[in-house]
Amino acid sequence: MRTLLFFLLGIFLAMPYWAQVKGKVQEISLDKKDTTDLPGVTIFWLNTSIGTTTNANGRFNIPTSKESKQLIVTALGFKSDTLNVKDTTKFITIRLKGGVALNEVEVVYESTGTELSYLNPIKVETLNERSLMKAACCNLSESFETNPSVDVNFSDAVTGSKQIQMLGLSGQYAQITKENMPYMRGLANGYGLSFIPGTWIQSIQLSKGAGSVVNGYESFTGQINTELQNPETSDRLHFNTYINQNARNEYNLNLKHRFNEKFSVGLLTHTSFNPMKEDLNADGFMDIPIGKQYNVLNKYAYNSGNGFEAQFGGGYMIDDRVGGQYLNVMDSTNLEGHKMGGIMADTALLYKIGIKNSKWEVYSKTGYVFRKKPGTSMGLQLSYLNHEQHNYYGLNSYNGIQKTFYANYIYQGIIGTTANTYKIGASYLNDFVDEKYRLFKFNREENVGGAFIEMAHNKEDKFNVVAGLRADYHNYYGLFFTPRLHLRYALNESKTVFRVSGGRALKTANVFAENTALMASSRDWIIQPSDLKMPYGLKPETGWNYGFNFTQKMKLNYKEAYITIDLYRTDFTQQVVVDVDYNTQQVWLYNLQGSSYSNTAQAEFGWEIRKRLNMKTAYRYVDTRVNYKSGLMQKALVSTHRAFINLSYETKNKHWMFDATLQYNGRKRLPQTLNNPSEYQRASYSPDFYNVLSQVTYMTKIKRADFHVYLGVENALDYKQQNPIVASDAPYNKYFDASMVWGPIYGRMFYVGLRFKIK
C-alpha cells in the first residue's frame, strides 16, 4: 500500500481541488413577511470570469475562486453590489428587499448544524454554531457530545478533565489546531480542550485520516481545526451565562467593534467557577474538583481592499482546580493562596489534588492576493506560546513549562487553469519543554525546519486528486518525509462520492503530559529507553493511515437524506507504548516491539424526516490492538461498539428548538488488577451502558437583539460507574488508582443558561 501511495503521489504531483458555493436568491417583501425565489440573477466573483445565474427556483452553484472572496450579485431592479463570503462551505440564502438597493441585502446560512463536504477530496465535517447550540458546549471538549465521530470521556475520577478519542486512539494522535495553527501540543495535551470556551467557537472542521501536509506532519487519525469568532463577521455583542446542578457557573462576553471598512477588533472573555464540593458516591473524594478559570483573547482584523489582509492578537488564561479527598477540603476562596506543586500542612493525611495552568500567547496571520495573477496568493502564520503547569497528586508533584514558536509560509498558485492548483511553502517550529515529575527531570528543545508542496487537479468536478509531500529536518530525528494522497470520484452530479486517502505521520510522545490521568495513582513509572539521545530516551512515534469513504446524497419522501460509510486503518511502525497491564502497580513506557493498529468502520445516516425535524444516527466498530509485554491485546478503555442517534426539531416560528441524543457505549477492556487484594480487584470488562442528553431552547427577539433561554440535561438516565477509584479508602497505599474510568461519575446533571446577541 505504501509503494502504491508513493507511486500515485509521483503521478499526480503536478496537479487543491475545485469546490463550489451553493445557495439561493430570494426577494423579501418590505414588511419581511413574504419571500419569492428570484430566477435569472447574475452572480460572479469580483475581478474574475467565474459566474453563474440562478435557476427557476432561485438556486445557484458557483465554483469557488482562489483570487476573490467577494461575490457580485446583479439583479434587474436592484443596484449591483459586493458581498463578502467568509465561509464557502455553507449553503447561503441571499435575500433582496423589493424596490431597494442591494446594500439592504440579508445573507442567511441554512444548516442543520453539521455539514458534510461533497466536493472536497478530503472528507470534512463542519460543526457550526448551530451544532454547538444543541448541547451545553461550555468548552471544546464538550463540543463533540452530539457528533458520532469523536468520543468524549473523563480521563480520571478526580481531576474533572475530559479527553477525546478518534478512530479508536487517544486525542494526541489527532492534529488539533486553532485557526490552522498548532494548539494541542506538549503540556496542553492533558487539559487543553477545556481552555477554548464554546462561546468563542465559530466552527469546527473535522477530517479523518491523513490530512493536508500544509498544516504539519503530526496527524495520525485526522485533523480537528477550531475557528474562533472573527471580528469581521461576529456579532457586535454576545453574552452567554450558564449554571448547572453542581453549581458550575460560567460567564462569556464577546464584543466586536468595526472602526471602518478595513479595520475591526474583537474581544473574547470567559470566567467560570466551580465552587461546590460534592461526593455523591460516598467514596471520600470530590466527584468534580472545585476551581475557576479566567480567559481572555483580543483579536484584530485588517483588510486593505487591495489584496492585503491581516489578523493578529493575543490571549491570557489561568485555570486553577483543587480536588481529592472530601473531608476538610479548603474553601474555594483560598485557591489563590494554595501552594501549587506542594503540600499544605492540613494535607498530611488527606489525599489532595491540585491542577494549575497558566498560559499566554500571541499570533499573527497575514496574506496577500495577487490581483493581476488569478488564483495566486501567499500567507504567513506566526505564533508564540508560553505555558506553565504546576500540579500535585497526593505527595507527588508535576511541574512543566513550554515555550513554542511557530512559523508557516504558504504560496498558492495555478498551473495553466484553476483546475490545476498548487501550494508550496516552508515552516519552522521551536519547541522547548522542561518537566519534573517525582524523581524524573526531562527537558528538550525541538527545532524542526521543513518544506512542503501540495498539488491538486480537478476534472469537471468528477475526479479530484490532492497530493502532498513534506520534507522536515528535526534536530533529534534527522531528515524525514511525510507523503499524503487524497482521491475523490463523484457520480450523479456529486451526489455519489467515493474517497480514498493515505499518508504518513510522525510525532514526539509527550509521555507525562499525555498521561496525566495515571498520575492520580500510586503506580511507579518505569521508562525503558531505546536511545538516550532522544526525548525521554524514546524513539518518535511513526505510522500510516489509510482510509475509504463513501457518501450518498438522496431524497426520501421528498426530504434530504444522506448515508456515509467510513473505513480507516492506522498502522504504527513505531509507537511509545503505555503499559499498565504488565504490573498492576506500575506504568511501563517503552518503544513498540511488534504490531500496533486500529481498524475503524462507521456508518452514518441523516434524514430530514419532515420539515425542520432532522435525524442523525450512526454505528461504529473499533478494533484497536497493541503488542504489550504480555502480548498483543485490545487497547484498554476503548469501546468496540458504539451507536448514536440524534433528533432535532425547530418550530415554524423559530421560537423553539428541541434536541435529544441517545448514545450506546459498548463494553471496554479494563487494565488487569488480578495482582491486587480481592477488595481492590476490578472486572476484566466494563458493562455496556446508554447515555441520554437533551436540551430545549426558547428563542425570541427583543428589538434588534436575539435572546435565547435554554434548559438541558446530561446523563438523563442517571447512570454512574460504581467505585471508580480503586482503594479510595487508602489513597497512600500501593493499590490506589483513580485512572480506571470507563463511564459517568457524577450522574444526572441539569443545567440552564441564556444567550443575548446583538448583530
Residue 352 has pLDDT above 70, yes or no: yes
Residue 132 — very low, low, confident or very high, per pLDDT cuts 50/70/90? confident
Bigger pLDDT: 331 vs 64? 64
Place of cell 425542520: 612
3-state class of 481 per DSSP?
strand
Q: Which value, to the nearest 10 degrees, does the dihedral of the CA atoms of residues 134, 137, 141, 145 take? A: -20
pLDDT on residue 14: 35
3 CB neighbour count, 10 Å cutoff: 7
699 CB neighbour count, 10 Å cutoff: 18
Percentage of the chain beyond pLDDT 70 is: 89
Residue 15 — very low, low, confident or very high, per pLDDT cuts 50/70/90? very low
User: Of 566, 683, 577, which is closest to residue 632 (Cα–Cα)?
Assistant: 577
Q: Which value, to the nearest 10 degrees, does the dihedral of the CA atoms of residues 718, 723, 725, 726 take? A: -160
Q: Does an H or E element contain 11, and which? A: helix 2-12
One-character DSSP codes across 187-248: THHHHGGGGSBGGGEEEEEEEESS--GGG-S--SSEEEEEEEPPTTTS-SEEEEEEEETT--
Place of cell 538516550: 532
Residue 63 has pLDDT above 90, yes or no: no
Beta-strand runs (E) in 370-495 = 377-393, 396-415, 417-437, 440-459, 463-474, 478-491
Dist. CA 249–CA 179, nearest whole Å: 27
Residue 745 has pLDDT above 80, yes or no: yes
Dist. CA 250–CA 633, nearest whole Å: 42
Bigger pLDDT: 2 vs 63? 63
**For residue 24, what are the β-bridge partners?**
59, 93
User: Of 322, 392, 319, which is closest to residue 359 (Cα–Cα)?
Assistant: 319
Query: Is 523 in contact with 738 (CB distance < 8 Å)?
Result: no
Average pLDDT over residues 346-363: 87
Average pLDDT over residues 7-19: 42
Handedness of CA 48, 52, 53, 58 (dihedral sign): negative
pLDDT on residue 656: 96
**For residue 150, what are the β-bridge partners?**
166
653 CB neighbour count, 10 Å cutoff: 8
Dist. CA 598–CA 600, nearest whole Å: 7
3-state class of 140 per DSSP?
helix
Most confident by average pLDDT, 41-50, 131-140, 154-163: 154-163
pLDDT on residue 112: 61
User: Of 486, 489, 488, which is closest to residue 467 (Cα–Cα)?
Assistant: 486
Instruction: Quick: pLDDT tens for 77-93.
Output: 565 566 778 777 677 88
**Grid coordinates belonging to 423:** 501550494
One-character DSSP codes across 538-576: -PPEEEEEEEEEEEEEEEETTEEEEEEEEEEEEEEEE-E
pLDDT on residue 33: 54
pLDDT on residue 544: 98
Average pLDDT over residues 336-343: 37
List CB contacts of 699: < 8 A, sequence separation 6 or more. 654, 655, 656, 657, 706, 707, 708
Measured at the CA of 592, the angle between CA 588 and CA 596, to 5 degrees, comes to 115
Considering only 325-329, 581-585, 589-593, which range has the smallest mean pLDDT? 325-329
Residue 101 — very low, low, confident or very high, per pLDDT cuts 50/70/90? very low
Average pLDDT over residues 703-712: 92
Main-chain phi, psi angles of 749, to 5 degrees: -135, 115
The bridge status of strand 749-758 relative to strand 613-628 is unpaired
Average pLDDT over residues 571-579: 97
Instruction: Quick: pLDDT tens for 618-631.
Output: 999 999 999 999 99
Most confident by average pLDDT, 7-21, 108-122, 213-227: 213-227
Dist. CA 681–CA 421, nearest whole Å: 59
pLDDT on residue 143: 86
One-character DSSP codes across 273-309: EE-----TT-SSB-SS-EEEEEEEEEEEEEE-SSSEE
For the whole prediction, is pTM greater than 0.85?
A: no
Dist. CA 246–CA 292, nearest whole Å: 14
Average confidence score pLDDT of the chain: 88
- From residue 19, alpha-carbon distances to 341, 415, 550 in Å are 51, 17, 18
Please give the single-letter amino acid code of residue 480: F
3-state class of 598 per DSSP?
strand
User: Of 646, 722, 708, 587, which is closest to residue 147 (Cα–Cα)?
Assistant: 646
Q: Does an H or E element contain 8, and which? A: helix 2-12
Residue 320 — very low, low, confident or very high, per pLDDT cuts 50/70/90? very high
124 CB neighbour count, 10 Å cutoff: 18
Residue 423 — very low, low, confident or very high, per pLDDT cuts 50/70/90? very high
Bigger pLDDT: 520 vs 7? 520
Average pLDDT over residues 57-70: 77
Average pLDDT over residues 672-683: 94
Instruction: Quick: pLDDT tens for 146-165.
Output: 888 999 888 888 888 888 99
Please give the single-letter amino acid code of residue 592: L
Rg (CA), the chain: 26
Helices (H) and strands (E) in the chain, counts: 3, 44
Going along the chain from its start, the domains and CATH numbers come out as 20-114 (2.60.40.1120), 117-758 (2.40.170.20)
User: Of 679, 722, 729, 726, which is closest to residue 325 (Cα–Cα)?
Assistant: 729
